[in-house]
Amino acid sequence: MIAKSITVSGRVQGVGFRYFVRQQARWRGILGEVCNLPDGSVFIRAVAADEIMQAFIADIKRGPAFSQVERMEVQDLQDETDYKDFQITY
């Protein structure tokens, strides 16, 4: 299992982006969380097997219909927080 933090910028707030991310994560069996940031970006922390994580990152780049991803910053995380599900946090 690997853990990643992903910060997504562009038109990603007010377009159902967090719900899309949660849906894709749950469909793929990924654990973690997603939240809006004050600067208008979205932050994701995810834990999954490497090949599943790569597919999830591709899903995020595509985004829901009304979103527009302009930039993604993906970083490895050392700790795999003990998530039990994938949640939208506030």
**Catalytic residue, candidates 11, 18, 22, 45:** 18
Q: Is 26 a catalytic residue?
A: no
**Catalytic residue, candidates 11, 26, 36, 71:** 36
Q: Is 11 a catalytic residue?
A: no
Residue 21: Cβ-neighbour burial (10 angstroms; 0-12, 13-18, 19+): buried
Hey, which residues are catalytic here?
A: 18, 36
